[in-house]
């Protein structure tokens, strides 16, 4: 009888652990795709290790593509939601929209649709904000940055105001192109995300 109770207890523990396991889907661009680096150095791989270290069973799906825009992410998202049924969706898009001079209103519309689709699927959403270099002009860069805070307020979702906080513009933390974080910056990217992501897990 004792053996039976022990076995039943272990089975229940395993079921509880499996029930607690979730899926984190990251839909991003080259920053999350670890452009120019070995993907094992990227912040997403560091996130996977952090989850294990802190006792989380969540699986991470990195659906980031270098060069992707908010329009591309919006087009890809429905299939990703259907396939992976994530509990948390991290949206890291917009940088390429800005670099191409696309309208902030269009970026906001695309991200809003991605947020709505994610929430409709039952997922929580974390939006990673981006900012542009000052050479794009005060009016444009301000309108671009406000897209993220506007969406976070309107949609009641979690926000990291600036994903590259403490990294952008620092030469030793950026690759030679001045656009992509270097290997030395990947841990900082994770630290920028983790405090806001952890409560969603």
- Contact yes or no for 67/177 (Cβ under 8 A): no
84 belongs to the catalytic site? no
Other Cβ atoms within 10 Å of 142 Cβ, number:
13
Catalytic residue chosen out of the listed positions 30, 32, 118, 121:
30
Report the alpha-carbon angle 68-133-34, nearest 5: 40
Of 179, 187, 190, nearest to 30 by C-alpha is: 179
Gap between the Cα atoms of 161 and 168, Å rounded: 13
**Token digits of residue 17:** 């652990």
177 belongs to the catalytic site? yes
53 belongs to the catalytic site? no
Beta-carbon-side half-sphere exposure of residue 11 (alpha carbons within 13 Å): 6
DSSP assignment letter at 123:
-
Catalytic residue chosen out of the listed positions 58, 97, 118, 180:
180
Gap between the Cα atoms of 10 and 163, Å rounded: 41
* Catalytic machinery residues: 30, 177, 180
């Amino acid at each position: 009888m004792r053996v039976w109770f022990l076995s039943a207890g272990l089975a229940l523990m395993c079921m509880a652990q499996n029930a607690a396991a979730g899926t984190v889907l990251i839909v991003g661009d080259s920053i999350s795709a670890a452009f120019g680096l070995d993907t094992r150095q990227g912040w997403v791989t560091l996130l996977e290790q952090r989850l294990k270290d802190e006792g989380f069973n969540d699986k991470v799906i990195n659906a980031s593509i270098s060069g992707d825009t908010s329009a591309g992410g919006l087009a890809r998202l429905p299939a990703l939601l259907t396939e992976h049924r994530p509990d948390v969706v991290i949206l890291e898009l917009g940088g390429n929209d800005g670099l191409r001079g696309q309208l902030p209103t269009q970026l906001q519309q695309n991200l809003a649709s991605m947020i709505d689709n994610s929430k409709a699927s039952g997922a929580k959403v974390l939006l990673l904000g981006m900012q542009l270099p000052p050479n794009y002009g005060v009016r444009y860069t301000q309108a671009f940055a406000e897209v993220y805070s506007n969406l976070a307020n309107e949609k009641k979702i979690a926000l990291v105001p600036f994903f590259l906080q403490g990294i952008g513009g620092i030469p030793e933390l950026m690759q030679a192109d001045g656009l992509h974080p270097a290997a030395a910056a990947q841990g900082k990217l994770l630290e920028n995300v983790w405090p806001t992501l952890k409560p969603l897990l």
